[in-house]
Structure 1
Amino acid sequence: MNSEQYTATIREKRYQDFTWIDIQNPSNEEAQGIAATHGLNPILVKDSLQAGHLPKMEQMEDGYFMILRACTQEVDKPTSINDFSNKIAFFVTKGRLITIHRAEYAFLDSNLPDMGHMDALILYIIDKMVDSFQEPLENLSSKIDDIENLIFTKKGDNLTLEQLYFFKAKARIGKKLTVLIRSVIDALKVGEGHDPQLQDIKDSLTAQYLLYDEAVEDTNGLLASYLSVTAQKSNDVMKVLTIFSAFFLPLTFVAGIYGMNFDVMPELRWQNGYFYTLGFMILICLIVFLWFKRKRFL
């Protein structure tokens, strides 16, 4: 076993009617041994350890195989589902549940309540996985509201287009994951008496989907608003520069004429020529100012 491989943590818990085996962070060699020991399909075991694998469900001869993802961390610049979520693979057969995962999950390490049926344990784990997205989703919604306030109160000088893009990426990835998880949950069949818990999970996913969808729309709106405000600021700067140019161009023209060094310039010998020129410049500024006021440019 090389230095890049890991030693699996295997926990086994026996209930009255079934056995739960939880396997955390196995190496590739250990995964092959697990598949052989428990009679699992090696391809499915490989899928359970493949980074970035999306949620899915496959039927097996004596049960089903399922992959779901849970939020394990929050990053500022997400680019893929791996940046803030990890998966748990479920191998469900008669009388036995095997879960395989890389990341550590607090709700798997804590003392679980007594489960009278394997479906109850599966739904308990799924419910915790779905709930793991709730706090990051609320944080995202809160940050979007803060950014909206900064943009429209013109206090977002430190706000960048990159920040808005990654907020949109979070919302988009979360929405995608919610849809994929819901498609798997819709295909899940549980025994009698567990339908209310399953429906509660579906309701939570629906609520999260709506919030993520709203976040995607909000971030799209924020991007458009940010670009609009930025363009408006550029227009304001150009407006100020244009106004200054309108005042100083004629003054520069006058100063340029009387800055020429021709011998025959009658005004050069005027005793009050300097004051006449200053007065003429002031008159030009006044005319330009009144014209701008009349056109409501000022």
Structure 2
Amino acid sequence: MLRAYIREDNRLAPTDFDPTAVTPIGSAVWYSLIDPTREEDKFVESCLGIDIPTRREMQDIEPSARLYSEAGAEFMTITALIEDESGQVVKSPITFVLRNDQLVTVRYADPKPFRLYERLVSRPTTGEIGGERVMIGLLESFIDRLAQLLENTGDGIDQISREVFGNKSTKPTRKTRDLQSLIEQIGKKGDVLTLARESLVSISRLVSYHQSAGSEDQRAVRERKQELKVLQRDAAALSDHATFLSDKITFLLDATLGLINLEQNQIIKIFSVAAVVFLPPTLVASVYGMNFHIMPELDWPFGYPFALGLMILSALVPFLYFKRSGWL
């Protein structure tokens, strides 16, 4: 789908591309390509005199392939985070093409920052709206979204921390199951943080590249330079915060695994103590189970109670010793 935004007074008016109709979108400020067809790609290429990158080219991880200039245009690709149908956070590349203050965005997903900014630019505003300003506004929306994502992830990590160190379950098996469930949650939070850091790094690289590749006139615009610096500072600050949360995730994972180890050791210790406690009675029973002809105890009137008492006593002595030593 192709949607072009044309400047009307102090706002941008969206216009959907219709190949059968004559539409005045050849000089639009912003061309928004969403899962475009080849016909829509060719139309934008004819309007701006550039080649629109393919989906495979957008997914290339090489920095030289993600940030480059060609035919007087800047081609910049970031890694954006979106939620799939199951609610999981996944990454998707988005390409910004800036030429003569006209912007082209190419994407194969529908991130929430785009929807929010599309509604924003349709409202009247003060000042001139160009392609570069639209790109900066979109990047600001992405950073705001990432900040919200990191805040929610941090709250989730705090909740996991309380569950890890405040587990009141008295049954070892149940407590171990709870900790295993927490490990799965920790893993999901760690994946989200990895994707968020990757997205922030790509945005920071885009801003740095745009600042270095801009023309002298663009560098002279103090307001734009300040906005780009703020973007870069915000991306760096959020990246540092994501690193802090990743370190906390690592600590919680180590702590959870340690607690599971302790629970498993406790179970093994109980079995070991039980084996030692029942070893002396087994020895007594084995002695009086021998089939020798001469065994004086067999003729005693109280031989059977004596053997039972001896077995009970031999079991109580090690049990009380372990209890007094704090092993139970």
Counterpart of 1:13 (choices 6, 11, 15) is 6
**Contact 2:2–2:31 under 8 Å retained in 1:** no
1:109 aligns with 2:118: yes
Q: Aligned pair in 2 of structure 1 residues 101, 293: CA closer, same or farther (>3 Å)?
A: closer
Amino acid at match of 2:304: Y
Deviation at 1:253, TM superposition (A): 1.7
1:173 aligns with 2:211: no
Q: Aligned pair in 2 of structure 1 residues 266, 26: CA closer, same or farther (>3 Å)?
A: same
Instruction: Give the Cα separation in 1 of the matches to 2:62 and 2:151.
Output: 23
Percent identity among equivalent residues? 23
Counterpart of 1:26 (choices 10, 32, 36) is 36
Q: Aligned pair in 2 of structure 1 residues 12, 176: CA closer, same or farther (>3 Å)?
A: closer
Deviation at 1:125, TM superposition (A): 1.2
The number of residue pairs the alignment matches comes to: 285
Q: Which runs of 5+ in 2 are unaligned?
A: 10-26, 169-174, 212-217
**Contact 1:48–1:100 under 8 Å retained in 2:** no
**Contact 1:49–1:102 under 8 Å retained in 2:** no
Amino acid at match of 1:181: I
Q: Name the Cα RMSD after superposition.
A: 2.9
- 1:232-287, CA deviations, whole angstroms, 9 ceiling, x for partnerless residues? 00110011111111111111221222234444332122101122122222332332
Deviation at 1:15, TM superposition (A): 5.7
Amino acid at match of 2:225: D
Instruction: Give the Cα separation in 1 of the matches to 2:87 and 2:279.
Output: 48
TM-score (normalised: structure 2): 0.76
1:200 aligns with 2:230: yes
Q: Aligned pair in 2 of structure 1 residues 150, 75: CA closer, same or farther (>3 Å)?
A: farther
Amino acid at match of 2:301: Q
- The 5-angstrom pairing of residues 69-218 of structure 1 reads 69-73=79-83, 83-104=89-110, 105-112=114-121, 113=123, 114=125, 116-118=128-130, 119-154=132-167, 157-160=177-180, 161-189=183-211, 190=218, 191-218=221-248
Deviates more, 1:132-141 or 1:188-197: 188-197
- 1:172-224, CA deviations, whole angstroms, 9 ceiling, x for partnerless residues? 22222222321221222253322232222222212211121012111111111
Amino acid at match of 1:259: G
- 1:9-32, CA deviations, whole angstroms, 9 ceiling, x for partnerless residues? 322313679722222220345435
Q: Aligned pair in 2 of structure 1 residues 111, 77: CA closer, same or farther (>3 Å)?
A: closer
Amino acid at match of 2:307: T
Deviation at 1:110, TM superposition (A): 0.9
TM-score (normalised: structure 1): 0.83
